[in-house]
Amino acid sequence: MHLAQALEALEALVAEALKDAEYYRASGGGVTVSGGEPLSQHAFVRPFLQRLRAHGVRTAIDTCGWAPAPAFAAVLAHSDLVLLDFKLMDPVMHERYTGQSNARILENLAAVAAAARVTGAPRLWIRTPLIPGVTATAANLRAMGALLQARFGDVVERWELCAFNGVCAAKYRKLGLSWTFADLPSMSRDDMEAARTAALSAGWDRAKLLVSGWVAKEGI
């Protein structure tokens, strides 16, 4: 995209977002940039967030955390809240299932925490998508909970465990793509309670753990 086109797109997006400015102020909310991965377009996202904040609109980014440090820092400076995915503690498993090590994600997580300790911003929420046999194992959740408690317990406001379900399978079929987890059943309430127990086992604050998402009905 040429510079003139990028600027035009930026102005149009800012104008669209500001249509709901009164709603943001009344509700205490704001604008979240998600994706895909917003940090892959950090050169566009940074001025977008910057412009919104200049208009008094709160901003958030929803990211997997895997991005070069300069890109992450550029967007971080204009974000009031970071929602960061943290999937797997074991770097080998992380690379197996995502194609990348988790080292960069942990470095960026540490950068958010450092900024929050100095300035009080951005706020930080961690989200873990639970996949049976992969991220939803007791060993993984215990290890993640131990790390979060030891290194980031003072700044992470919320750790959310998001229940696995197969609703997205239809999208894969429409795109003619295969999905590794297509045959996995949705998680039950017992599964989610086991995940909660494992996550709390290393001392994580129960008040800062949220379990969300659709679960299977009993007996199905």
Condensed to tens digits (0 to 9), the pLDDT of residues 172-203 reads: 889 999 988 988 888 999 999 999 999 999 99
User: What is the rounded distance in angstroms from the CA atom of residue 208 to the CA atom of residue 156?
Assistant: 8
Using the predicted structure, report yes or no on whether residue 120 has a pLDDT greater than 70: yes
Mean pLDDT of 114-126: 95
User: How many whole angstroms separate alpha carbon 108 and alpha carbon 38?
Assistant: 14
1-32 burial, b if ≥16 CB within 10 A, otherwise e?
eeeeeeeeeeeebbeebbeeeeebeeeeebbe
| Cα dihedral 112, 213, 211, 157 in deg (nearest 10) | 20
CB under 8 Å, gap of 24 or more: what pairs does 44-53 form?
44/6, 44/9, 44/10, 45/75, 46/74, 46/75, 46/77, 46/78, 47/10, 48/10, 48/13, 48/14, 49/75, 49/78, 49/79, 50/78, 51/10, 51/14, 52/14, 52/17, 52/18, 53/78, 53/80
pLDDT band of 220, cuts 50, 70, 90: very low
Asked whether residue 214 carries a pLDDT value surpassing 50, the answer given is yes
| 3-class state of residue 214 by DSSP | coil
Contact predicate 157/208, CB 8 Å: yes
81-85/123-129 β-pairing? parallel
Q: What percent of the chain has pLDDT over 90?
A: 84
For residue 219, the model assigns a pLDDT of 43
pLDDT at 2: 73
Sheet harboring 156-162: ordered strands across? 30-33, 58-63, 81-85, 123-129, 156-162, 209-212
The model's pTM is: 0.92
Q: Which amino acid is at 176?
A: G
- The pLDDT value given to residue 1: 57
> Average pLDDT of the chain?
93
Quick: pLDDT tens for 37-48.
999 999 999 999
**First-last CA distance in the chain:** 50
Contacts of residue 142, defined as CB under 8 A and 6 or more positions apart, other chains included, come to 198, 199, 201, 202
Q: What mean pLDDT comes out for the span 115-135?
A: 95
3-state SS assignment for residue 182 = coil
Answer whether the bond into residue 99 is a cis peptide, omega within 30°.
Answer: no
Give the helix ranges, DSSP H, for the chain. Answer: 3-18, 21-27, 42-54, 69-76, 91-98, 103-119, 138-147, 169-174, 189-200
**73-116 pLDDT tens trace:** 999 999 999 999 999 999 999 999 999 999 999 999 999 999 99
